[in-house]
Amino acid sequence: MHMESLHFIFFLSSVFIILTHYNGVTCISNNNNNGNLPILSFEEGYSHLFGDNNLIVLRDGKSVHLSLDERTGSGFVSQDLYQHGYFSASIKLPADYTAGVVVAFYMSNGDIFEKNHDEIDFEFLGNIRGKEWRIQTNIYGNGSTNVGREERYGLWFDPTDDFHQYSILWTHTHIIFYVDDVAIREIKRTESMGGDFPSKPMTLYATIWDASDWATNGGKYKVNYKYAPYIAEFSNFVLHGCTVDPVEFTSLKCENGIPTGITPSQRTKMESFRKKHMQYSYCYDKRRYKTPPSECVINPKEAERLKRFDPVTFGSGRGHHHAKSHRRSRFVSI
Ligand SMILES: *[C@@H]1O[C@H](CO)[C@@H](O)[C@H](O)[C@H]1NC(C)=O
């Protein structure tokens, strides 16, 4: 498996706000049920970000097609800025040959905090025909782009066959990624992580883009526009959090019923998912981290299992990671 560093430069605006202090908003809720949260139409929650006519809102107003063709990718962005909450979309990925195509559903404030942004990512990494899509999760906090915390997973279904729900729960102390109703990753805020835990208000994004310009493997896995347009479908938008005034950075309103964390039965499911489907974790990437970042809990059995998926990481030292992008640095393995 060959790993490449991708740099995605993404200029949204030139707003530049320097804040030395941000006092977080407290959201209190005892409801753990993610199933009953209101579903928004596209117009209620999101705005067009880029890609002209490659973003199509379907007639029901609740589904969106984002496409990538020779001209451009496309994307949308939430109208509101959030400090914590539960954010979800159902996504159906493009089928067949999708090498070099990346679909992302993520939170970021890179347009506001150019030098010390936060980010929480779901990224879907396209593949050559016959191989599965993989998903990657990652976070950055306060500009920690030199410490990627990527994990990659296979899925227990084909994400091009149908819609599946991908969700991010972000609280003051935890970040949880869900696929359908399965929690797949929990990031606990630890003292030693310092500013690396996302803590400033962010907006939601969904994008499809051509990652082949950043891949350096001889053009072998470039996006092939013979198969374009690549269409990612989105629906079931949930934006259930605490909104923040984009100018004053004061809290506006917290929705009721934001999930607070993970239940014991979800935890059991999560552990079994990770045993079966996790293919890469930064915690075991000795090539990048001689000493794993402080929050890592190393499990020798897990290390042994992950070695199978990525002999490069554990073995020959071929390839090279560099995360020098000030904006978005992407590690994609194709
Ligand atoms: C975040 O980054 C800014 C600018 O680099 C720094 O002044 C601040 O102390 C950092 N905050 C935390 C919590 O690490």
Name residues whose C-beta falls within 8 Å of residue 286's C-beta, 6 or more positions apart in sequence: 313, 314
Residues 90-137 pLDDT 10s: 999 999 889 899 999 999 999 999 999 999 999 998 887 767 788 999
pLDDT of residue 130: 67
Task: Please tell me the distance between residue 325's alpha carbon and the centre of ligand 1 in angstroms.
Answer: 18
Tell me the CATH number for domain 34-265.
2.60.120.200
Task: Please tell me the distance between residue 109's alpha carbon and the centre of ligand 1 in angstroms.
Answer: 14
Domain range summary for the chain, segments of one domain joined by +? 34-265
pLDDT of residue 260: 86
Which residue minimizes the CA distance to atom 4 of ligand 1?
A: 116
CB 291: neighbour CB atoms within 10 A?
7
Look at residues 153, 206, 217 and name the one whose alpha carbon lies nearest to residue 183: 153
pLDDT of residue 311: 53
What do you get for the CA distance between the two ends of the chain, in Å? Answer: 7
Name residues whose C-beta falls within 8 Å of residue 319's C-beta, 6 or more positions apart in sequence: 2, 3, 4, 287, 312
DSSP reduced 3-state for 248: coil
Atom of ligand 1 nearest to the CA of 196: 14
Test site for ligand 1: of 22, 142, 196, 199, most ligand atoms within 8 A of the Cβ:
142
Cα 285 from Cα 155, distance rounded (Å): 21
pLDDT tens, N- to C-terminus, the chain (334 residues): 333 333 333 333 333 333 333 333 333 333 334 568 999 999 999 999 999 999 999 999 999 999 999 999 999 999 999 999 999 999 999 998 898 999 999 999 999 999 999 999 999 988 877 677 889 999 999 999 999 999 999 999 999 999 999 999 999 999 999 999 899 999 999 999 999 999 999 999 999 999 886 643 445 678 999 999 999 999 999 999 999 999 998 889 999 998 888 999 999 999 999 999 999 999 999 999 999 999 999 999 999 999 888 654 443 333 322 222 323 334 333 3
pTM, two decimals, is 0.84
Test site for ligand 1: of 21, 115, 116, most ligand atoms within 8 A of the Cβ:
116
pLDDT of residue 183: 97
pLDDT of residue 112: 95
Residues 147-179 pLDDT 10s: 999 999 999 999 999 999 999 999 999 999 999
Look at residues 280, 319, 287 and name the one whose alpha carbon lies nearest to residue 303: 280
pLDDT of residue 189: 96
Look at residues 129, 330, 322 and name the one whose alpha carbon lies nearest to residue 213: 330
pLDDT of residue 318: 30
Task: Please tell me the distance between residue 18's alpha carbon and the centre of ligand 1 in angstroms.
Answer: 11
pLDDT of residue 137: 97
| Ligand 1 surroundings by CB, under 6 angstroms | 116, 142, 194-195
Is the bond leading into 229 cis (omega within 30 degrees of zero)? yes
